[in-house]
Structure 1
Amino acid sequence: MTATKTIAATSGEGQFNAYYAEPEGKPSAAIIVIQEIFGVNAGIRRKCDTLAEAGYLAVAPDLFHKIAPGIELDPDVPNEMQQALDLMGQFDQDGGIRDIEATIKAIRDEHGAEFKVGVVGYCLGGRLAFMTAARTDVDASVGYYGVGIDGLLDEKNAIAKPVLLHIPEEDHFVDKDAQQRMHEGLDDHPKVTLYDYPGEDHGFATEFGQRRSDESAQLADERTMAFFAEHLR
């Protein structure tokens, strides 16, 4: 079952919508799906639906609600890609983390304080997944092709729960030097696992469109599902 629900933001910042996909039975845990710069579009909703089919409650909050509420963009359309990049420049990432934290709270308010909650994010969402791991009490975090994580390494000591990062080696938004800094900073972290994907570019695990690379996407998603099965159940 899918629905759009409203979540109260923190600190009197109003409210925002979130896409909910619920399993047929009682959910084993919840996973927050953190959007790319293209909004909660068809691809993000499909990520939620797939997680619900696996028995999880999946929730995708509209993190652009302050600047472009409800927007859905297609990265394969040039002017929409440019619009997404412009929105990224306007987006308050710290505010996004507050909205993710509000989503965690809303889920636990409904299902109980001990109910496990994970996050999985893509692109901008991959970066926010890392920030969520460092700044909240989320139980497990996965980031796909997160941008700028090498600039967040001073937060790594705050990570207390498991983190998994998928790194395409030919990411045109994250160069080889940045990837090396990520490995140097995180390879010895007891809670962080990094997987590299040779020959793959940014967006390789998207559900739809020209960026998808099936074989690597399937491998990354299998690793993600095994990670969540281990840490959320």
Structure 2
Amino acid sequence: MAETVRIPTLEGSATFPAYLARPDGEPRAAIIVIQEIFGVNPGIRRKADHWASLGYLALAPEVFWRQDEGIDLDADVPEQFQQALAYMNGHDFAAGIRDVEAAIHWIRREAGVAKVGLVGFCMGGMIAYQTATRTDIDASVGYYPVGVAGMLNESHAIARPLMLHIPTNDGFVPPEQQAAVHEGLGPNRHVTLWDYVGLDHGFAAEMGLRRNEAAARLADERTTAFFAENLA
């Protein structure tokens, strides 16, 4: 069962929309699904529905709600891709991580689910890293995260399990940044890094031209096992 709910901000001055997919029966845990720059589109909703089918309460907040609600863009349409980049460039990331914390609080206090994980894609992959360094999330996963190399000074704060999926031909994350991430996070016992040789950004998108079926399935299997272990 799926519906749209509204989550109060930490300050309590506003609410933001989120797609909520409920499992049959009592949730085994909860997973926050953080969008790419294209909004909570059919691919993100499908990912949330998949987690619900595995017994998790799945919540996909609209990250850009301060600019606009109901954003639903297609990465394969050039004009919509540019529109998505404009939304990202206008996003307040400091406020956004507070929204993630608000979602964690809502899940634990209102939905009554104690264990909470987060999985994010692209920009959401970076938010997964920030969530691991700045909140008390139980476990986080980032797919092709951008910008992490510039945030390694926060890595000492990682106290819960974090997994990152890194395509080696990521057009948004050059090799020197990938190397810095491996050097900075590789020794951290809480962090698991997976490289996908020869693949580009977006390989695990649910639909569209970017998806690589075999690699997406492998990464998703690793993520499923990771959450099963760390949200039990």
Superposition TM-score tier, normalisation by shorter sequence: over 0.9
Q: Which residue of 2 aligns with 1:168?
A: 167
1:211 aligns with 2:210: yes
What amino acid does structure 2 have at the position aligned with 1:58?
Answer: A
1:73 aligns with 2:61: no
Say whether the 8 Å CA contact 1:7–1:15 is kept in structure 2. yes
Q: Which residue of 2 aligns with 1:99?
A: 99
Aligned equivalents of 2:180, 2:30: Cα separation in 1: 31
> CA shift at 1:68, angstroms?
1.8
Q: Which residue of 2 aligns with 1:52?
A: 52
Deviations 1:60-102 (A, max 9, x none): 0111100121111000000000000111110011111111110
Ranges in structure 1 where 5+ consecutive residues have no aligned partner: none
Aligned equivalents of 2:95, 2:43: Cα separation in 1: 23
Aligned equivalents of 1:101, 1:150: Cα separation in 2: 23
Q: Which residue of 1 aligns with 2:201?
A: 202
1:186 aligns with 2:179: no
Q: TM-score, normalised by structure 2?
A: 0.98
Ranges in structure 2 where 5+ consecutive residues have no aligned partner: none
Q: Which residue of 1 aligns with 2:124?
A: 125
Aligned equivalents of 1:204, 1:111: Cα separation in 2: 32
What amino acid does structure 2 have at the position aligned with 1:136?
Answer: T
Aligned length: 232
Aligned equivalents of 2:29, 2:111: Cα separation in 1: 9
Say whether the 8 Å CA contact 1:23–1:53 is kept in structure 2. yes
What amino acid does structure 1 have at the position aligned with 2:7?
Answer: I
Structural mapping, 1:134-173, within 5 Å: 134-173=133-172
Moved over 6 A (4+): none
Deviations 1:128-164 (A, max 9, x none): 0000010000000000000010001000011100000
Deviations 1:5-44 (A, max 9, x none): 0110111441101000011111000000001100100000
What amino acid does structure 2 have at the position aligned with 1:103?
Answer: A
> CA shift at 1:216, angstroms?
0.3
What amino acid does structure 1 have at the position aligned with 2:37?
Answer: I
Q: TM-score, normalised by structure 1?
A: 0.98
Aligned equivalents of 1:202, 1:159: Cα separation in 2: 24
Say whether the 8 Å CA contact 1:64–1:70 is kept in structure 2. no
Deviations 1:176-232 (A, max 9, x none): 000000000010001001000001100000000000000000000000000000000
Aligned equivalents of 2:178, 2:23: Cα separation in 1: 36
